[in-house]
Amino acid sequence: MSEVTPQPTQQPSAPVERTPLPDPLRRNWVWFSAQQIAQFFFTIWFRMRAFGMENLPQGGALLLINHQSFLDPLMVGLPLPRPVSYVARDNLFRIPMMGWLLRRTYVIPISRERGGTESLRESIRRLEHGFLVGIFPEGTRSTDGKMREMKPGFVSLVRRAKVPVIPVGVAGAFESFPRDAKFPRPGKIRVVFGQPMDPVRLAELSQPGREAELLAWTRESMQVCLDQAYAHRQ
């Protein structure tokens, strides 16, 4: 899934069709079917458990998720009764079957070569419509399971999205499916949805010149969730 967070540039990315958006609280038949199948398998194979889902609002919210594995988007989305829109590289949409699946599971394409202006606009449109939008501020998967430094690409989305920002921690996905693995191993994966980041402080740190503070605070908030997720694995 996504390893790239929206990074606006002067060059437009591949256009995203401005089709009417579906109900953000209802899963379509593709999402629902895939969720039922995967949830059964993952509950057994990974003993998956999620905590803190009561922290999610009824409307739109931006999920900031640590990135241990390709499993992360599935682990965060499967426990929820509503869909999550992720951002994924546009070249994945050209793969037979995968592209069909991504288009029908609310995924937003982004081009590494042309930047992410269009995906940024589409992410904001979906947040305003009431969707959960999930991004990975580290920009790529961890090489050791520990959280990497935050990439600044997501800051523009935080500044412009007037919705709750929720840190999320995923623990155990690296142990089950690290970067060099060919197939996921059985394990124990835990997901923690943290409390919304303080909107007043978020607005203050979103001002020009305070980007470093915002990145540090974001990483700290996500690390708290990650530590809690690891504690739940014990």
H/E segment holding residue 224: helix 211-233
Asked whether the predicted pLDDT for residue 3 surpasses 60, the reply is no
- The answer to whether residue 170 scores a pLDDT higher than 60 is yes
Q: Across the chain, what does the average pLDDT equal?
A: 88
The β-bridge relationship of strands 132-135 and 84-89 is parallel
φ, ψ (nearest 5 deg) of residue 75: -65, -35
Check: CB of residue 196 under 8 Å from CB of residue 164: yes
Helix and strand numbers (H, E) in the chain are 8, 7
* Distance of alpha carbon 146 from alpha carbon 162, whole angstroms: 30
- Give SS3 for 168: strand
Instruction: For residue 74, give the nearest of 194, 172, 147 by alpha carbon.
Output: 172
Q: Would you state the structure tokens that stand for residue 134, as one six-digit string?
A: 């999930």
Residue 51 is predicted with a pLDDT of 98
Averaged pLDDT, 45-59: 95
pLDDT at 215: 95
Could you name the CATH architecture of 29-233? 3-Layer(aba) Sandwich (3.40)
Work out the pLDDT band at 231, boundaries 50, 70, 90.
very high
Beta bridge partners, 49, equal 190
**Model confidence at 72: pLDDT above 90:** yes
In the structure, what pLDDT confidence band is assigned to residue 99 with cuts at 50, 70 and 90?
confident
pLDDT of residue 194: 98
Residue 148 CB neighbour total at 10 angstroms: 17
What is the Cα–Cα distance from 86 to 106, expressed in whole angstroms?
7
User: CA 71, CA 176: separation in Å to the nearest integer?
Assistant: 9
pTM attached to this predicted model? 0.87
Question: Taking Cα atoms as reference points, which of 125, 95, 107 lies closest to residue 34?
Answer: 107
Report d(CA 104, CA 108) in Å as an integer.
10
Confidence grade of residue 18 (pLDDT, cut at 50, 70, 90):
low
Q: What is the average per-residue pLDDT within 9-34?
A: 73
10: pLDDT strictly greater than 90: no
- Does an H or E element contain 155, and which? helix 155-160
Residue 54 pLDDT greater than 70, yes or no: yes
Cβ–Cβ contacts within 10 Å for residue 100, how many?
12
